[in-house]
Amino acid sequence: MKRQLSASVVVALVTSVSLVSAQTKITAPKNKYTPAQDVQLGREAAQEVQQKLPLLRDDNIDGYVDDIGERLVQNIPQEFRHNEFRYTFDVVNLREINAFALPGGPMYAHRGMIEKARSEAEVAGVLAHEISHVALRHGTAQASKAGKYQMGQIGSAILGAIIGGRAGEAVSTVGQFGFGAAFLKYSREYEKQADLLGAQIMARSGYDPRSMASMFQTIEKEGGSRGPEWLSNHPNPGNRVQYITQEAQALRVENAVNDTRQFQNVQARLRSMSPAPTSEEVARSGGGNRNPSGTSGTVRPSGRVEPPASRYTTYNEGNLFRVSVPSNWREMPSETQVTFAPEGGYGAINNQSVFTHGVQIGVARNETHDLQQATDELLQSLAQSNRGMSRPSGYARANIGGRQGLHTVVANDADSTGRERLAVYTTQLSDGSLFYMIGVAPENEYRSYDRVFSQIASSIRFSR
């Protein structure tokens, strides 16, 4: 009798262990900010989002998205709840499929996402993913890692990652590299966490997590040659559909909510409205980005530029590096990079900063551990916002601040500033991030600037 009893206890234990281990255990990443700071940073960034992005402000549709969001928020596992956080949902009147979350809870879903979803569960999948980024505090965790390279405030850098993404890149000028996104987009590790926690929250709310995977498949098919905007903030960690499907099997949802009448009504209502503009259209009409030169509206660079002075001035950039540039160039720091350019060589077109002569220096997050691959990715992201850019024909070795680096020159045919050349220098910092310097000069003046760029590159000294 006794024996039998203990055998059944063992069986019960084994069963419960296998159930627990089937669901992936998630641990929030290290974070040097407090939850209260998340709230404050998110609130600051949200104010700018309200000003710069076109919100739909339709009670029916906002109410519907709120209801789904609220249901999901109720099901955030206890260990990831923060009393300070307030989860809010707004619909942005933009055509691309996208969604993003700010620290502490403000979330934004593009109208295009709701239009392209095939069921309520797919909308819930995207929201659950975003809620997970907030609950796991991924924005400030990422900033904790990037902190020492910050040239401006974290809040605006987070904002830059969102608004400086495709909306900021839309006007294809050389001045607008849109590196906010490269700097603060979520790492693949965080993406996978948001997928898995999102799947768990969906299941607890009565949605089948596989709908998240099918929404991602729809998203990846979107976007044509430039790729879907979603991926610039939420990179695919690889095998996304497989591991979400696997997690869904471990979670077993019965009688899942899939399609609802409200979902059909909301889609019909959206179809009856005039079509949403693209981010590019919004950026062109002036709803775009801050620009580092401080010039607003359209002030075209005159192109009449003094030759680079033979005397150089040295600048210290944060506690990261110093660099010497011709003394008649002006320093224009922005959130994630610094530009040096001569009078007449910079300006703004539709609020987007442009420069025809000068250098831009910054640090981009990099996960590749391979300098050439990281440089390839940098050039690819440049090519996305500069459609007239040629591919590099190869890389030469370069020494940058005592580190091994790469150098290449690419041609660019810019709508606003004509034919020009970009001199690209890169190296990896000790934490693996990519340090870059990009020099720009018109094609017919490039010979004399080539020397200046190489002199600037060789003046760079890192502080650590």
Sign of torsion, CA 89 90 96 99?
Answer: negative
Q: Which residue lies nearer to Zn ion by CB, 89 or 436?
A: 89
Query: Which of these ranges, 192-200, 265-273, 365-373, 392-400, lies near Zn ion under the rule CB under 5 A?
Result: 192-200
**For residue 292, which of 349, 352, 344, 345 has the smallest C-alpha distance?**
352
Q: Which residue lies nearer to Zn ion by CB, 162 or 332?
A: 162
In the bound complex, what is the minimum distance in angstroms from residue 179's beta carbon to Zn ion? Answer: 19
The two three-digit tokens of residue 335, written as one number? 């959130």
The answer to the question of residue 113 lying near Zn ion (CB under 5 A) is no
In the bound complex, what is the minimum distance in angstroms from residue 101's beta carbon to Zn ion? Answer: 8
The answer to the question of residue 110 lying near Zn ion (CB under 5 A) is no
Q: How far apart are CA 345 and CA 416, in angstroms?
A: 13
CA torsion angle 379 383 385 389 (round to 10): 120
Q: How far apart are CA 341 and CA 17, in angstroms?
A: 63
In the bound complex, what is the minimum distance in angstroms from residue 313's beta carbon to Zn ion? Answer: 42
Q: Which of 45, 91, 94, 194 binds Zn ion (CB under 5 A)?
A: 194
Find all residues with CB under 8 Å of 222, minimum gap 6, and list them: 96, 97, 116, 228, 230
Q: How far apart are CA 137 and CA 151, in angstroms?
A: 22
In the bound complex, what is the minimum distance in angstroms from residue 45's beta carbon to Zn ion? Answer: 16
Q: Which residue lies nearer to Zn ion by CB, 244 or 361?
A: 244
Q: Which residue lies nearer to Zn ion by CB, 194 or 341?
A: 194
Q: Which residue lies nearer to Zn ion by CB, 186 or 216?
A: 186
Sole residue written with tokens 């608004």: 163
The two three-digit tokens of residue 360, written as one number? 């831009």
Written as one letter, the residue type at 303 is G
- Using CB under 5 A as the binding rule, the residues of this chain from 204 to 243 that contact Zn ion are 234
Q: Which residue lies nearer to Zn ion by CB, 191 or 317?
A: 191
- Using CB under 5 A as the binding rule, the residues of this chain from 86 to 105 that contact Zn ion are none
Distances (CA, A) of 389 to 267, 383, 392: 39, 6, 9
The answer to the question of residue 197 lying near Zn ion (CB under 5 A) is no
Sole residue written with tokens 């690209």: 424
Q: Which residue lies nearer to Zn ion by CB, 113 or 305?
A: 113
Half-sphere exposure of 142 (CA within 13 A, CB side): 30
Residue of minimal Cβ distance to Zn ion: 234
Sheet holding 337-342, edge to edge: 329-333, 337-342, 358-364, 434-442, 418-428, 403-414, 396-400
In the bound complex, what is the minimum distance in angstroms from residue 181's beta carbon to Zn ion? Answer: 12
Query: Which of these ranges, 189-197, 202-210, 333-341, 379-387, lies near Zn ion under the rule CB under 5 A?
Result: 189-197
In the bound complex, what is the minimum distance in angstroms from residue 141's beta carbon to Zn ion? Answer: 13
In the bound complex, what is the minimum distance in angstroms from residue 308's beta carbon to Zn ion? Answer: 43
Q: Which residue lies nearer to Zn ion by CB, 195 or 317?
A: 195
Q: Which residue lies nearer to Zn ion by CB, 128 or 323?
A: 128
Query: Which of these ranges, 81-89, 154-162, 191-199, 224-232, lies near Zn ion under the rule CB under 5 A?
Result: 191-199
**For residue 24, which of 252, 246, 253, 254 has the smallest C-alpha distance?**
246
Find all residues with CB under 8 Å of 399, minimum gap 6, and list them: 405, 458
Contact pattern from residue 148 through residue 187 relative to Zn ion, giving x for each residue in contact according to CB under 5 A and a dash for the rest: --------------------------------------x-
- Using CB under 5 A as the binding rule, the residues of this chain from 312 to 341 that contact Zn ion are none
Q: Count residues binding Zn ion (CB under 5 A).
A: 4
Q: Which residue lies nearer to Zn ion by CB, 186 or 329?
A: 186
Q: How far apart are CA 134 and CA 101, in angstroms?
A: 7
Question: DSSP assignment, residue 444?
Answer: G
Question: DSSP assignment, residue 236?
Answer: -
In the bound complex, what is the minimum distance in angstroms from residue 81's beta carbon to Zn ion? Answer: 20
The residues that touch Zn ion, with contacts defined as CB under 5 A, are 186, 191, 194, 234
